[in-house]
Amino acid sequence: MSRIAACMAALKRSGRKGVITYVAAGDPSPALTVPLLHELVRAGADILELGVPFSDPMADGPVIQRATGRAIARGVGLRATIDLAAQFRREDGKTPVVLMGYANPIERMGQEEFVAAAARAGVDGVITVDYPPQECISFANELKKRELDPIFLLSPTSTDERIAQVAAAGAGFLYYVSLKGITGAGHLDTAAVALRIPQIRARSALPIAVGFGVRDGASARALARMADAVVVGSRLIEDMEKAGEGGAIAAAGKLVREIRGAVDEV
């Protein structure tokens, strides 16, 4: 059982919902990334998404684009992201780490080399936004062989066929994008999510995490009532930007504690 599966199973046994946090590797700085990850865990994050900086992030809004742009300017790419994950893993052997990014850096590195490097680093899952499940079965299988979970996105427009494909190829959890749009968009419709989640559950036994619309404790609480976990990213980066490099880690911890408390009320 992967760390992700074990984490989600433990949450279910305890009657709790998960908190998943997204930050970009190398932001607010490479030196602060690992301390930031540890603070997120202390604040209540169950699973960490570590964004791989990429120059053309098609699913990401301006907030995450700025974060990955800052990281790229500091020389952080896929290999550096994997190294940061390895540094974190040397001090934390329990918290699952998911790399989230795009196909281009993986293709440039080579799928086989990427899978091996991620496994050595102690990574637990991979979200590749622009790898359609039906076109990367071999990649997903290679990940699973190394006990890495391939995690796929579902959206409000996903067909029953796509849900079935994702359920067959994926592992760890399913990532449901709560709205039609990019990360950080502000038009979350919880009623629409409430209608969609049962349709997904009817076709997959995997836990469901909902993201792209979590802004605060209230939105996290609302989504946690229907999902197994909530994902916060853009708002986290916004708060760190406002706090500046010196206050970024404290600002991130404050927001995650708010969300953790709200989710635990469910």
Catalytic residue among 49, 124, 149, 228: 49
Beta strands in the chain (DSSP E): 18-24, 47-51, 97-101, 125-128, 149-151, 153-154, 174-177, 208-211, 229-232
Q: Per-residue pLDDT tens for 202-254?
A: 999 999 999 987 889 999 999 999 999 999 999 999 999 999 999 999 999 99
C-alpha 24/C-alpha 20 separation (Å) is 13
Is 92 marked active-site?
no
Is 107 marked active-site?
no
Catalytic residue among 27, 60, 124, 239: 60
Instruction: Report pLDDT for 248.
Output: 98
Instruction: List for the chain the helix, strand, coil content (%; round to 5).
Output: 55, 15, 30
pLDDT averaged over the chain?
A: 93
179 and 153 in contact (C-beta within 8 Å)?
no
C-alpha 127/C-alpha 140 separation (Å) is 10
140's enclosing H/E stretch is helix 137-145
C-alpha 53/C-alpha 34 separation (Å) is 16
Instruction: Report pLDDT for 172.
Output: 97
Domain ranges of the chain: 3-260
Regions of the chain with pLDDT less than 70? 179-188
Q: Which CATH class is domain 3-260?
A: alpha beta
Instruction: Report pLDDT for 182.
Output: 43
Instruction: Report pLDDT for 14.
Output: 97
C-alpha 62/C-alpha 259 separation (Å) is 22
